[in-house]
Amino acid sequence: MEGRSFIGVGLALGVGVGAALGIALDNLALGIGVGVALGLVLGIGLDAGGKANRSKDSSDGGATYAGDGGSGSKGKHSDNDAGSDGGDGGGGGD
C-alpha cells in the first residue's frame, strides 16, 4: 500500500456527511465547508496511522513470529549472523 493516500477518501466522506448535515440544517454551504474540514482531518489522520504501521512493519526485518504460520525463513538482519535461521516459525494457525 506504498504511495497511497487516504486524504481523498476522507474528503469524499466528509463532503457527503457535511452536505447531508447542511441540508438537514438548511445551510448547505456551511455543511459542505465543515465536511471538507473534517474530511481533511480524517484523511490526514488515516495517512499518519498508515505510515506508522508501515514503518513498524518494515523495522522488524521480515522476522517470523510464533503462531503466525510462517516458514521460519531468515529475515534481513543487520548483524549478519550466518548461523541464525530465524527460528522454527511456530506451529501455524488453525
Q: What is the pLDDT of residues 72-82, one digit of tens each?
A: 555 555 555 55
Please state the rounded mean pLDDT for residues 21-49: 93
CA atoms within 13 A on the CB side of 2: 3
**Set of cell numbers at residue 94:** 488453525
Q: How far is Cα of residue 50 from the mean position of the Cα atoms in its chain?
A: 3
Provide the whole-model pTM. 0.53
